[in-house]
Every structure is written in C-alpha cells, then in structure tokens.
Amino acid sequence: MTAPPTDSPNHVLLPDWVTADPGGSLSVSAGAGSGKTTSLVGRVAALIETGGVPPSELVVITFTEKAAREVSHRLRQRLGNVVSLDEAYIGTIHGFCQSLLRRYPIEAGLPPRFTTADELTSGALADERAAQVVQELYNKAAKEPAIEHALTVMASFGAMMFLPDLVRAIDNDWLRFTEVELDRPVSIEVAHSTVMRMLGQVTMDPRYVSASQAMRNKIDTAVAVAKQAFDFVDSVPALARVATKLNTYPPTPPWGPLRDTMRYACFQPALDRLMAALVPLVVDAAHGRITRGELSFDDLLVLTRRMLRTRPDIRTLVRARHRHLFVDEFQDTDQVQFDVLTELTSSVAPNPASMFAVGDPKQSIYGFRGADVGLFSSLLAADPSRQELTVNRRTSADV
Amino acid sequence: MNKIEASWVRPGRGVAVAVAAAVSELQGPDRLAEVIVVVPPGGTAATLRRLLPQVSGGVAGIRFLTPIDLAVELVDSSVSTMRAVTTQLQLAAITAVLRSDECPEALLGVRDHPATIDALVDMALSLRAAHVHERALTALAGEPGSVRSALVEVVRRARQRLVELRVRDESATLAAVEDVDESVLAALRVVLVVTDTFHPAQVGFLRRVADQSQCRLVSIVPAATDSSLIRQLGELGCGEVPQSPTTTAPRVVSCPDPDEEVRQVVRWCAALIDDGVPADDIAVICAAQSYRRPVRDELQRAGIAWSGGAVEKLLGSVAGQVLRHLVDGIVGEWDRPNVFRLLSVAPMYPIGDLGAPRRVGQWTTLCRSLGLVSEADWSAATARLEAAQSARRQRWGDDPDDAPSRREAADTQGLDRLLKLVERLRNQTGRIMKAKTWAAATKALGSMLEDHIGVSTWRERAWADGPAWQRNAADHVEHLVAGLAELDLDGVAVPFTASTMRQVVGTLVDTPVRRRGDAAGAVSIADIGGAVCIDARHVFVVGVNEGVLPATAVDDLLLGRDLPEPAASVIEGPRARASRAERAWNALLASDATVTATFARTDLRRGGEVYPSPLLVGMSIERHESHADGLINGQALTTSERLARDDLALSHSSRLARRVDALRARLNPEATEFDGIVGPHPSLAPPGKVWAITAVERQAACGLGYFGPHVLGLTDETDPAAILSIEPAQRGTLVHAVFELVATEWLALAEEGRPPWLHGDHLTATHERAIEVLDQLAADIGSQHRLGHEAAWAAERVHILQSIAAALDHEASEGSRPVAGEHSFSGVEVGGVAFRGKIDRIDLMPHGALRVTDYKTGKVTASKDPLSGGQSLQLPLYARAADHDRALLTGSENGGWPPATARYLQVRDAGVKAVEVALDAALIGAFEAYVAQWLDEIAAGQFSPQPHPPNGRCLMCCVDSLGVEELAERARHFSGRANGSEESE
C-alpha cells in the first residue's frame, strides 16, 4: 500500500496519494518521523490551492496547542500571504468544540455566554468537586443503608481513598451517564446469593481440583467462613481473604483468574451501588456549572457531542460550514472526541464532511487522558482506501 | 458639510503640543476661556492632563470630556435630569423580562441560569447606544425566531421597562442631542482629539461638533493599514489623510516564561531609574490583562511607584471579596471555613466593643486544636477549650486551681471574641433571611459590610498607605449594595430571596473598577488599548505573543466578529477591539519612545511552548536565557536580591538576612546549609544522647525531613475541616492502641487466674473488648473531627474491626502468648550508641524464643532488602531490645534461648498478613552499618534533601520558598556527585 514518494512543494518527498484527492476522506497510518504533519500540511495546501476550497471550510485538529501553531506556521510558509487562514480552524478539538458551543450556546442548553477553565484550572477544580461529591455521598450514606453497606465494602478493600478518583472518572464523561441506563444495582440479598452460589461451585472448579492439598485446605477454611457469614457485608472480607491467600500464588491460571473472579464478586455489587449514588451528584454539579456558565475542559466535548446528536438542524449547519476535517495524531483520540468527529463525518446523515485522519498506532501518549488507540485501528480497518507512510524522515539511513 | 482641517501629529507628546496650540488659538487673549477637550477612551486624557501643563504652562479653563458626557451637558434638562441607568437597574429589568411571559420561547430553557442574566446585562451594555437606530438592532437580531433575535428582544423589552421608569441611557442621550440647536454647539470651544476610534454611535454627534467654527481637530496620523480609523476620520469630515509616519523597530527580547519576562522588564525599569531616568518617563504596556497583576506586584516588590489606568474586577478588591464571602456565609452557613475566609480578608475595622484587629492566625490554630469545624461546633467551643486546658494541666501536673497562665488567658479571651463575632454574623444573617424586600435586606447587608470594610472616612485614614483603587473599589461596593434596593422598583421588581441576592451580587462584583494613578513620579502601567497616546520615553510592551497581541478574535453569539450593516455603525464589535490593540502597537512604533517588546517562550498555563506575535516577524530577537541570568546579570529587584548579588552585609533584620543568605545559596555552585549542609554542632548529637530509631530512619529517607521535626521541632497537622475520611496515620494509631490495650489488660491479670491467651472464651471476649476499646478511642478522636465524615467512619470502622478480628484469629492459631504490649525500652546499644523505643508487641513462642511484632496498617511486602536501603531499621533493633530485656519480660535469664525473631503484621483489607524478617548475620551487619552512617551524617550536620516522590512533599520541602523543583535539582546534583565519587573509589 505504500506509494513511492514524490517531491512536494515543501521540498519534502510526499507520496502522490497525499494530494491526489485532497477533498476526499482518507485514513493514514504513519510511523514515527514518517512525515505525518508534512502530509497533513501538504494535503490542506492542495485543497486550498488546487481544490479552490475556501479556508473557512477547513478544520485542522491537533492534539496540542503547540502542534496547532506548528501546522499554522507551516501552512503560512506554504501558502504565503495570498491566502488568509484566519477563517480556518486550526487548533485542538477542545478549542473547536468551544467555538461550536459559542456559536450555538442556547441550542446546546447553555447560557448565551460562558467561560471555560483551561486544562490546568479544570484539573484543580475537578479535584475540589470530587471532594465535595464524596462529602455529599457520605451525607447520603447516613440516610441510606444500601450506600452505607457499599461504602463498607469499599473500606474492606482499603478503597475509600479511591472514591475521588471514581468521581473524576464519571465527571470526565458525565453526560454519558445520563444518556445510558446504568446497570441497576443489585440488592445486597441478590449479591449475597450470587456469592454463595459461586462459593458452592468453588470445589468443582478444575483449578481447585488441581491445587495442592495445603492450598485446598486454605480455600476450604476461607469458603466455610464466608458461607457462615451472617450477611453479604460480613461475607465480603472472608472472600477477600480467600483472594488474598491466592495472592501468594502465581497470577497465572488457575490462581489469578480464580482470585479475580472472587474479588469481582465481592466488589461489583458495591461498586454498582456507589455508581448509582454518585452519578446524580456528579450530574447535578455539571448542571450547576452549566447554569453558572462556567464549563470545565471536558464539558466542552460532552456538550458538543450532545448538541450534534440531539440537534440535527445544528449538525447540518456545522456540516455545511466545516466541509473538511483534518485530524493529526488520531491515535490520541478518546471515545468522546471520536464521537464528535463521527457526528460530522458519518454518512448516516446527509452531507458528511470529509476527514483526513493521520496517526501512529504505536505512538499513543495520552492513555492517561483516556486516549484509545483501538479507535484509530478500527477507523483504519474500516477504510478500504487507507494508506501508510513508512519513510522515516527524522533519522538517516545509517541510524 | 465642510471639510475639516485637522492637525496631524505623531502619537505621544506631539498630541499634547498640538492640543495646547489648538486650545491657545481658541482661547485667544482670554487665557481662562473654557475649552472642552473631547477624547476617546483609553489613556489619552491621562496623558494630556500630565503633559499640557508642561507644554503650555497650564490647564486653566480646560475640561476633559468624553463625547457622551458632553452630550449629557447639552441635552434638554428633561433628559439630563432623568435617573441614570445603573447595572442594578439593568439587571433588574432583564431579570423581570426573563421571568415574565415576555420571555422569548428560544430562551425558556436557559432563562433561570445566572449566566444567562450576566450575558444579557453585558449585551445590554454593548447595545447601550444602539437603540436610537432601530434598523441596526433589527439587522443585529437577524432572522425572526432565531436565538440572537430572542436575545435582542429581551434587551429591547428590558430597556422599554426602564424608559417607562424614566431611566436615561446612552441611547436616550444621543437621541436627545440630535435636537440640540446648532447655535448651542457653535458657542462651544472644542478640541476633538482623535488618537483612537470613538464609539461608532457617537460619530454623528461628533461630526456636528467638528463642523463648528470653534472646533479644532487634532489627530494622530493613522497607519496605512488602519482602515477603521481612516474611515472614521472620513466620517468626521477630514479630507486626505497624510502618509503614515515612519516607524522604528523595537528591541525584541525572548524570555523563558511570563514570570521572568515581567521580572526582567522590571529590572530594566529599575536600571533606568538608577541611571536617573524619571519614573514618569517609563511605561509598561500589557498586551493582555493577565499581565497587569504580575507587573504591578513586581514593581511593588522592587519598591518602584506605579500608576495607571489598569482595570480590576470588583471581585478582586478587598471589598469585593468581603461582599462575596458575606453572601456565601448568608446562603450557606457560618462554619469555620466560611467565617475565617471572611475574617481574614479585612480584619482591621473595630466592631463595637470587640475592637480590632481580628487575629485570624491565632484563632485558626486554636480552632484546629479544638476540632471546631462545623457551625454546630461553636456551641461546644468553650467547653472544649476548658477540657483541653484541664487536660493540659493534668498532663503537666499543675494545680487545677492555679490562676490561668498567660497562654490560657489569651486562648480564652481570643475564643470569646471569636464566638461573639460569629454570633453577630448569625444575627445579621437572621435579619437578612427574614427580609421580605430588597430594601430591608440591603440595610442588613450594608451593616455587615461595614463591620468588615468600615466606613469611608475610616478607610481614608486606615487604608491611606494602601493602593487608592482599593478605597475606590470599597466605595463602589458600598454603592452597589445600597443600589440593590432598586430591585424593589415596580415594573422591574425582582422578588427577594437570599439565593437571588447571591446571584445578583455575583453579577455586580464582576464589573470593572477603574484604578487611578496613585502617585506622581511613577511608572505607568497601561493596557495595550490604552497605549495609543501614552507619553513615555521608555516603553516596555510585555506579552507580545501569538494569540495575545493581537488577541485572537472569538466567535460570539451576541456580537460576532463581523457585524452586519447597519449594526456595525452603532455597535462596537470584537474586531474594533482587536484593531485598537494593533493601532496602539503601530502608534508606539511611530512615537519617539524607545520601545522594548518582550515575549515568553513557554507558558505552562497555556500548554507549554508559546510563540512570538506575528507583529514581530522579521525583527531580530535577543534571548534572555533563564531566571538565574536575570538575578546574576540583571538589576536586583528587591532589597534582598541587591544585598545577595552585591555581597553586602546586613545586620538590622535577621529575617531579611536569612532571605539574602538563601538567595546567595541558590547561586552557589557548592552545597550550602540551604541544601541541608548545616555543619557539625554539639547539639545535633550530644554525647550520651539516647536515640529513637524512627528518627534515624527519617534521616535516611530525607535529611531535611529529619532536620525540620527533630532539630527545629516543627510539626505539621492536617486541618480537621479538610478530613473526609480517617487519615492513614490516625488509623494506625487506633489499631496500635487496640492491640496494646487488649494485651496489657490480659497481662495485668494475675498469672494464675489468667485465661489462656486467645483460647475459647477469651478469644470471644477479646473480640468484644476490641470493639469497645476502638469505640472509646474513636470517640475522643471524633470530637476533634479527625475521623472524617460519620458515614465514612462507619464504613472504616467495620473494616478496621474486621482487620483486627482477623489478626486476633490469626494470632489464636499461632500458639504464642504476649509478654508485653507497647514495651518501652531504653539504653539498648548499636555500635556504642544507646537507643530507646517502643515495641508494639513481644510474644513468647512455644520454642522459647521471643518474637517482636510491628503492626502495620499500610501495605507490607516481602522484599529482598528488608532494611529498605537503611530506611527500615526498627525490627533488628527491637529484636535486640527484646533479648536485652528478656529477664524483665519473662522472668528467665537470657542464656540458652534462641535469639528473638521479628516480623511485620499487616492489619488491613479486613485481613492479616505476616512478613517475617530473617535477622541473620549479614542483615545485622548491614543494620549496624546503616545506623552508623546516618548517625555520622546527623552529627556532621548533613541534612541533604532527597528528591521526594510525587505528591509526597512534607513541610520541609522548599525551605526557602525559592522553588521546590530547583531545590530537588540541586539535591540530585549534589547526591549524584557523592555517588559518583563513591563509585570511582
């Protein structure tokens, strides 16, 4: 699939397919130093110069402000002063979503004007918010025994300190939790009977059968204690102890999976219960931000996605204005960002925008932000005309 | 209309000369004849006020007016005497429309959002002059039924309500001024100064003024690219605009980051002043508002007077913060955090017999130690203080009937004052909550405000040394609060509730307050928009970065980048603001001033690397490398910097002297005491000292970590108000205490009557006793708010009890029996040095050896290095101590028994895990070597900090507040050198 390179106007060798049909959609897998940004700039320039497309129709998404400036700088060098890039959007996806929300705030359910905290401030505010939500959860637990039970289970695992992390995870994509039905938290009684059933099956498990006698004795003791436990909350630590005993065994089958199964059985009902209690608190906090017009960094994405999904009229307007999307470092895209791009480019709705997506499946650096390299892989897999850039322009042949 | 002959001048001083000439011409022989100088917004008026006396010998008869002020003076008294519109009235009118049936359908979903009201108040301000042009508003509104049309409709209807209440706005004035007779205008002597564009809605009126024979027009020569100013000059009647003036390229300097950029500019200012340049001749222009505060702060730190038209939000002022904290407390509750946030902002005004100042620092310490957090705690505060004082007396063996000590008396008096203040706040809040009208609530809120920022006459005196703008802002806040009563007005009435009051106050404190010049002989600070006519021989422009100068134009629903005609002719849009910045830049380069432009290369707040403005393309750029460069090679900004750099002695202020030493230390290529190398001192390791092994472990982990608590005696404690769930250390203390009590209670029984340890009924009884003990201990800790939230503690309690139960069951299966719980020992020697300590548990094992147990509530993992590089030294010492005290513990002599063994017992996760540590000869050898090494370091006064783990900072990190990363870097550097030399040996 790799085409022989040709000399590009930037004096860097680019394959012909980069500029052959600059207005069409294309997914490109590109290794480190193979000229991702150069290809992107070359294609944008070709679209303006030979395609005659006005810059206002272009959206170039990069994953950092720095990369956006680099692209702008190279485009300015490439196009000179003849073409003004002022009307093109070149920047991060957060900035792009912000510009859409500023144009259609009421349609997005926002006040006519809003402010957005930058990434650093958003992080600090999210920490404060998480502490506040946990405090509210504790207030709720004082009135609702089911939540209190769930907290006890968390404490049994020494996991209370992770509650703020759980809140932040919900907060990052809070709107999703209002759009999908959460798994109904199982009652403590149901959870208890499930665990009991599982305990009854332990001795039939081939992994148990193949264990040493000493290990079987340990498991027998722990299972007996767990079965005698008065209720679910009491049985959890007993189960956890079984799992803990299994910790001393290798994590490979049969011990690792057996331990994980047991831990999961202990933990999941409590986690479901806490999620059901936390989500409304997080969503309330998000609605508070909306009414005050003080959005967080992540709100920009989730609210844009909602607007594009629920307001076809706005999606049509956006598609009509932004006809061509160019996405650099696509491997760093997370699910919400992917959804936003899909809303603009999917052919399910009329008049889809084209998308030139370039990335390196081996180079994702934003895993901590939720980037999912699998999204890029699936995009590549679904594109029969996908291309690959392989020439390394950063290192010499000797290296 | 006539063609107007303008005087064309270069920006800056040239404007003043031309205006002086025009004034002189209009006054003729009557030097006191009134001349009105009409100026655009920005710094023009300030520059002319300062320069006119210098270039013309006086300002007698001259009045500076904005176009709208002039119009108000000219219109019929039926208009000029109407009530002027205020932000409160605007807000009330918009709120009333949004809450009524008149609210357009498009806004129904967001009409209750406070941000919607804020945005519409802003929009009303932007459209304040547009109502005289119905077609312009229609054009702005766009398609009927659209969102923008709905917004415009709300503003229109709100204005209509205000008009019915006989409230005057800019549109009303501009409409009325059209009726002013030409003869009135002809009688005026006016100099129209064009250094910037006027508001487009005012141009028609100004054209009539300019057309009069007694009007002179003075204008800067616009840059050829400045189409908006050229167009406006045409509209004012000017003919051909002269060719643009020649410009001089500025000196451009790239700086490492915005902080150092500002500091470097201030260093240059200081150097100029040292060279005899008057401060008035220096100006610092901020490309973005965010630069104002750092510029002002650094000038202040450097002791350089500053002045200027920088604008702050009321919220940023002392009075604005007081008001915000007041409404937070009123709507929320007067718990300790809310009370102290309020009291700490402005603690100086004497309140009745409670006097001043309010000693928030002292009260904070007191409240923390008494565990006062929530509003409910105030009622128990006095009892808690008495109990704490009584407990202290008991601990020290003092007679409970003795007179209170000075500290006790001070604490009692301080708490009494604090409680009275809280009571006062609660009473005042009660009055507001009962209020039915804004007038009643405003009265009570005004009284609360006065308690904290005082009255105007007091502020004039007490805040005299502070910046004048803070006094202006306080006056402004007082007026805003008083003006809330306008929300009761029929027609725009907003029902009063405390939460509505918070919303309204939130909007009001978001308004700007203009800062006036504080002193003559000061460096001018101006925004880029106000720099178009700044007069200074030395101008520094900070923040000349891409996206900052000119600022990126943002799409806005209300006022888009490109306003449709005819709206553009009466509304000032974002593009006009952007072109104002560019105009100022061009004016600076065309002026006679020496211009230095700086930009930052990195800015973490903006995502790392940043770039210079496109305005600098093609200019040569100097590079200012680093922070250290500025200090070593640049002008010292503060007294301590100067003393440090010039190596001057200092004796009168020990605090300043230490600061100087710290700065010098940072410039020293060798390690100093600020790197923890304090040198030997007899007090560090006195002969005969009995050591605690935990202290030695702390030295191993980080020298400064030892130095703070063990040499300086510093302690750090989390504020109970911030504890959501029990802290790990507190959990450990509880678990240890439970094990100690159950063991010591059993040991206290007569040996013959003791039940077998943890057998049969005793195990059951011990389980129950553990619960009792835990609950008793927790009750004490809980009264200090150190257990966290009740629900969190309820969950943790179950977990802790499960863990303890598991540990007891585990122990029951082992067949050992305790011989001591929390056994204190002293005088056990390691390498000739005596140690003391406390062993969590010592058991006698069936084979006759002793076993020491160290309980851990944190994670313990078996490691190949049980001593953790010298940071885990307790177990070898404890085993040695157990054998040392064997006779005492068991009643039998040492001879013949195997040596004591040692283990960690992890008690957590509702379970237990034992980790044995093999005390073989190699480990004991390593243990003794480590102890000797760390004690040698302590004796030698070597307290090098170790790079801390992320989020693992302690109170000793960054002792000199010069940057924790820099300190860690030095630590790495010096420890790396030491390691290197060891390796080479």
Which tops the pLDDT comparison, A234 or B271? B271
Q: Is B113 within 8 Å of A241 when comparing Cβ atoms? A: no
Closest CA to B321 of B429, B477, B443, B457: B477
pLDDT band at B582 (very low <50, low <70, confident <90, very high): confident
Q: How far apart are CA A110 and CA B116, in angstroms?
A: 8
pLDDT of residue B310: 52
pLDDT of residue B963: 56
pLDDT band at B285 (very low <50, low <70, confident <90, very high): very high
Give the residue from chain B lying closest to A92, CA to CA: B607
Q: Does A64 touch chain B (CB under 8 A)?
A: yes
Query: pLDDT digit string (tens) for A235-283?
Result: 555 565 555 555 555 565 555 665 666 666 667 777 778 888 999 999 9
Out of A106, A154, A241, closest to residue B107 by CB: A106
Q: Is the model's pLDDT at B265 over the cut of 90?
A: yes
With 0-12 CB in 10 A as exposed, 13-18 as middle and 19+ as buried, what is B521?
exposed
Q: How far apart are CA B796 and CA A153, in angstroms?
A: 9
pLDDT of residue A251: 62
pLDDT of residue B877: 97
Mutate to test the interface with B, among A98, A107, A110, A113 (most CBs of B within 10 A): A113
Q: Does B186 touch chain A (CB under 8 A)?
A: no
Q: Is the model's pLDDT at B978 over the cut of 60?
A: no
- The pair phi, psi for residue B850, each rounded to 5°, is -90, 155
pLDDT band at B752 (very low <50, low <70, confident <90, very high): confident
pLDDT of residue B981: 32
pLDDT of residue B277: 92
Surface of A (244-283) touching B: CB under 8 A = 244
Which tops the pLDDT comparison, B216 or A213? B216
Q: Is B119 within 8 Å of A293 when comparing Cβ atoms? A: yes
Which tops the pLDDT comparison, B259 or A60? A60
- For every residue of B137-160, DSSP letters joined together read HHHHH-STTSHHHHHHHHHHHHHH
Q: Is the model's pLDDT at B810 over the cut of 80?
A: yes
Element (H, E) at B81: none
Q: Is the model's pLDDT at B367 over the cut of 50?
A: yes
Q: Is the model's pLDDT at A394 over the cut of 80?
A: no
Q: Is the model's pLDDT at B383 over the cut of 80?
A: yes
pLDDT of residue A52: 84
Q: How far apart are CA B875 and CA A102, in angstroms?
A: 64
Q: Choose the weakest-confidence range: A166-180, A202-216, B739-753.
A: A202-216
Round the average pLDDT of chain B to a whole number and report it: 86
pLDDT of residue B355: 80
Out of A152, A161, A291, closest to residue B113 by CB: A291
pLDDT of residue A397: 38
What is the average per-residue pLDDT within A29-35?
Answer: 77
pLDDT of residue B207: 94
Q: Which two tokens stand for residue B573?
A: 């849009």
Q: Is the model's pLDDT at A64 over the cut of 90?
A: no
Amino acid residing at B512: P
Q: Is the model's pLDDT at B358 over the cut of 70?
A: yes
Which tops the pLDDT comparison, B449 or A83? B449
Q: Is the model's pLDDT at B741 over the cut of 60?
A: yes
pLDDT of residue A368: 47
Residue with tokens 């306008």: B486
pLDDT of residue B842: 96
Q: Is the model's pLDDT at A10 over the cut of 60?
A: no
pLDDT of residue B840: 96
pLDDT of residue A386: 77
Q: Which two tokens stand for residue B985?
A: 């040996």
Question: Of how many residues is chain A composed?
Answer: 399
How many H helices and E strands in chain B? 36, 24
Q: Is the model's pLDDT at A349 over the cut of 90?
A: no
Query: pLDDT digit string (tens) for B430-453?
Result: 999 999 999 999 999 999 999 999
pLDDT of residue B639: 65
Out of A112, A160, A241, closest to residue B151 by CB: A112
- Strand B850-856 versus strand B911-917 pairing type: unpaired
Percent of chain A scoring above 70 in pLDDT = 72
Region for A117 from its dihedrals, namely left if φ exceeds 0, alpha if ψ lies in -120 to 50, beta otherwise: beta
Domains observed in chain A = 16-114+295-389 (3.40.50.300), 136-161+174-282 (no CATH)
Which tops the pLDDT comparison, B103 or B643? B103
Q: Does A95 touch chain B (CB under 8 A)?
A: no
Helix ranges (DSSP H) in B28-76: 44-56, 67-74
Q: Is the model's pLDDT at A200 over the cut of 80?
A: no
Percent of chain B scoring above 70 in pLDDT = 89
With 0-12 CB in 10 A as exposed, 13-18 as middle and 19+ as buried, what is B337?
middle
pLDDT of residue B517: 47
List for chain A the helix, strand, coil content (%; round to 5). 60, 10, 30
* Cβ contacts of A221 within 8 Å, gap of 6 or more: none
Q: Does B433 touch chain A (CB under 8 A)?
A: no
Q: Is the model's pLDDT at A230 over the cut of 50?
A: no
Amino acid residing at A278: L
Residue with tokens 């929390």: B822
Query: pLDDT digit string (tens) for B639-689?
Result: 666 666 666 665 566 666 676 677 677 777 788 877 888 889 889 999 999
- The pair phi, psi for residue B413, each rounded to 5°, is -65, -45
Closest CA to B280 of B517, B521, B43: B521
pLDDT of residue B977: 35
Helix ranges (DSSP H) in B727-828: 728-748, 761-782, 790-812
pLDDT band at A66 (very low <50, low <70, confident <90, very high): confident
Neighbours of B626 (CB within 10 A): 12
Q: Is the model's pLDDT at B137 over the cut of 70?
A: yes
Alpha carbons within 13 angstroms on the beta-carbon side of residue B169 total: 25
pLDDT of residue A236: 58
Surface of B (681-740) touching A: CB under 8 A = 724-725
pLDDT of residue B982: 33
Q: Is the model's pLDDT at B607 over the cut of 60?
A: no
Residue B330 Cα distances to B335, B503, B786, angstroms: 11, 13, 27
Give the residue from chain A lying closest to B810, CA to CA: A241
Residue B536 Cα distances to A337, B588, B596, angstroms: 50, 10, 12
Q: Is A106 within 8 Å of B109 when comparing Cβ atoms? A: yes
What is the average per-residue pLDDT within B324-343?
Answer: 92
Write b or e for each residue in B797-836: b if 16 or more Cβ atoms lie within 10 A of its Cβ, otherwise e: bbbbbbbbbbbbbbbbeeebbbbbbbbebeebebeebebb
Q: How far apart are CA B804 and CA A341, in angstroms?
A: 54
pLDDT of residue A192: 59
Q: Is the model's pLDDT at B985 over the cut of 50?
A: no
CB B453 within 8 A of CB B349: yes
pLDDT band at B630 (very low <50, low <70, confident <90, very high): low
Query: pLDDT digit string (tens) for B893-932?
Result: 656 788 899 999 999 877 788 999 999 999 999 999 999 9
Q: Is the model's pLDDT at B980 over the cut of 50?
A: no
Q: Is the peptide bond before B686 cis (omega within 30 degrees of 0)?
A: no
What is the average per-residue pLDDT within B94-98?
Answer: 93
Q: How far apart are CA B390 and CA B343, in angstroms?
A: 29
